[in-house]
Structure 1
Amino acid sequence: MRRVIVLLFVFSLFLSGCQAPFSQKETKTTLLEREPVLFEPFSIPENFIPQRINVLGLGDSLTQGVGDERKEGGYFGRLTTDMEQWKGVMDVEAINLAKRGRRSDQLLEQLEDPNVQEAIVQADYIVFTIGGNDLMKVVKGNFMKMKLSDFYKELGKFEGRMDELFEILRLYNPSAPIIVAGLYNPFSVLTDEVQEFDEIIEDWNRSLEERAQRDGTACFVPVEDLFHSNTNLVYHTDFFHPNSKGYDQMEERFVEEIKSCPAVTLEVE
């Protein structure tokens, strides 16, 4: 009897066209009529994952850090130490191949070394100072009969070597930012009557800056004003190289310029 009652109830539902309140058909219709939910693609910011970066130092005694009585590696040692605190940096591998007395022609010779070429390939940042010894070569070679034309004749050769230097660096590493510092006038320590030499320094610096701009992924760091005279006691006792205080200021200038350098993607702190 109970089975008959159940069958009659089911049959009556069928005849009346009634449907269960949560039928499969209704569920499908409801899902189709809903507004689609859009999800934004998720990407990880570049500085979210700490990077291990390689910084290569090239050039002369300024990058080597000669005159730094605190033995902190000059501006290069200070800069690479500071970089470890920058946002997105896990570790800094600093390789300093600079050497006291090196001229631009000797730097080009150094770049023929396969080990140096490999260091260039691996570098995330390339930093160098060059040109001071090129100028001193002119001074020493023409001390008793110096003429302005001697410096500009050498400048023409220096410009050609700088063009070659940038070409070689870009051959082995097309994308690493290159940070190049300008020159300063060490004779301002000895006398105020050095206006002509100041103009020479300005022209050599202008040449370096133009080549950095032409590269497109390089930045120029002016330091001439930091070492004009020794009023702030920034020179080593040889009156040619910076002392620790001078290198402190030089490194601060590097950081200042790097912050505004479009080629640098790290968030400088």
Structure 2
Amino acid sequence: MMKNFIRTFAGFLLAILLILGLFLLAFPKAGDRFRTEKKVSALSAKHVSYAALGDSLTEGVGDATGQGGFVPLFAKEIENSTGGSVSSQNFGKAGDTSTQIYNRMMKSKKITDGLKKANIITITIGGNDVLKVIRDNVTKLSSMTEKDFVKPEELYQARVKKLLDKIRENNPQAQIYVLGIYNPFYLNFPDLTVMQNVIDSWNTATAGVVSQEKNTYFIPINNLLYKGSGDKQAVEADSSTSAVANNLLYTEDHFHPNNIGYQIMADAVFASYKEVNQK
């Protein structure tokens, strides 16, 4: 009995340590649509100004082309659909929490000017905030539960609202699309439900804030990315192990999206854009 308990505890502790290791690799130190607004009319301008704000998902970590992940892909889809042109500015920085994104925005005139002039704004936020909770509780990883994420989630919601409100002070008209976060560990740790539940809860929190903002839309991406795609879901990463690989993630860190993953993200944002702007 005691031997089985020790084995179970050791297995759980190992899983948590592996997750922390992957998080630390993925995030260097320095993420259903909800809305209440009616659909707005289509953008009529032949030229669209687009500003992207956020963390590594905006910067495009994992994009083999080095062009900025989903940002240029989304811009291109707008151009193809409207026949006009899109000028985009990428203000993404890997490792940024919601606090760091806000502070960077407030300190940079280039960012504030870019957001002020934009017709369209996308934001990726939240993944590093979840990571920070884990880092802050590193001494008790094996005993962490969903309750450990509740208070940080409430504080995170307040920071997201503060960020959106500040953007709105300078730009009351732009369409803002806020992307959710996803669980990159699901395939390797499907029984570690605490992480999936935390991701779901934080996405719900973000969506709740977004639903209170005018002309602002939440884009869920977890269900699009966390299991991989098509016939290649749960492909074996190494024939000598039982580990599996998500075919939508960057093979160097198994956390950030790869080019296919970023295309899926761009498609999701563009689908919302089309719905919002349909005549």
State the TM-score bracket (shorter-chain normalisation).
Answer: 0.7 to 0.9
1:56–1:97 Cα contact (<8 Å) kept: yes
Gaps of 5+ in 2: 1-40, 234-245
Name whichever of 111-120 and 206-215 sits farther off. 111-120
Cα distance in 1, alignment partners of residues 267 and 160 from structure 2? 25
Residue 151 of structure 1 aligns to a residue whose secondary structure is helix
For 1:24-35, what aligned pairs fall within 5 Å after superposition?
none
Partner Cα distance (1:260, 1:53) in 2: 17
Offset at residue 247 of structure 1 (A): 0.9
1:169 equivalent in structure 2: 167
Structure 1 runs of 4+ aligned residues shifted over 4 Å read none
What's the counterpart of residue 235 of structure 1? 249
Which residue does 1:193 correspond to in 2? Answer: 191
What letter corresponds to residue 94 of structure 1 in structure 2? S
Higher relative contact order (CA 8 A, sep 6+): 2
In the other structure, the counterpart of 1:206 is 204
Specify the code of the residue in structure 2 equivalent to 1:245. Answer: I
3-state SS of the aligned residue for 1:68? coil
- Residues 189 and 239, structure 1, Cα contact 8 Å, conserved in 2: no
- Residue 86 of structure 2: SS of its match in structure 1? strand
Indicate the residue corresponding to 1:222 in structure 2: 220
Q: Could you tell me which amino acid in structure 1 is paired with residue 65 of structure 2?
A: R
Contact 1:63 1:98 in 2 (8 A): yes
Counterparts in 2 of 1:60-209, with a 5 A limit? Answer: 60-87=55-82, 89-112=83-106, 113-145=108-140, 146-209=144-207
- Kindly report the root-mean-square deviation, in angstroms, between the aligned alpha carbons of the 2 structures: 2.0
- Residue type of the alignment partner of 1:90: G
Query: What is the letter of the counterpart of residue 179 of structure 2?
Result: A
Gaps spanning 5+ residues in structure 1: where? 1-44
Letter in 1 for 2:250: H
TM-score, normalised via structure 2 length: 0.73
Deviation (angstroms), 1:50 = 5.3
Distance in 1 (CA, whole Å) between partners of 2:42 and 2:223 is: 36
> For the Cα contact (< 8 Å) 2:74–2:270, is it kept in 1?
yes
CA distance in 2, matches of 1:228, 1:143: 24
Q: In structure 2, do the counterparts of structure 1 residues 194 and 259 end up closer, same or farther at CA, with 3 Å as the change threshold?
A: farther
Matched-pair contact (CA < 8 Å) for 1:76–1:251 = yes
Q: CA deviation at 1:73?
A: 2.1
Q: Quick check: 2:177–2:217 contact (8 Å CA) kept in 1?
A: yes
Match of 2:22?
none
Q: Which amino acid counterpart does residue 132 of structure 1 have in structure 2?
A: G
**1:189 Cα deviation after fit:** 3.6
- CA deviations on 1:159-188 (whole Å, 9 max, x unpaired) are 110110111010010010100101111221
Q: 1:249 aligns with which of 237, 256, 264?
A: 264
**Distance of aligned partners of 1:188 and 1:175 in 2 relative to their CA distance in 1, 3 Å threshold:** same
Deviation at 1:203, TM superposition (A): 1.2
Pick which of 245-254 and 91-100 moved more.
245-254
Distance in structure 1 (CA, Å) of the matches to 2:215 and 2:160: 15
Whole-Å Cα distance in 2 between the matches of residues 77 and 106 of structure 1?
A: 23
Across the two proteins, how many residue pairs are aligned to each other? 218
Residues 235 and 243 of structure 1 are in contact (CA less than 8 Å); yes or no, is this contact kept in structure 2?
Answer: yes
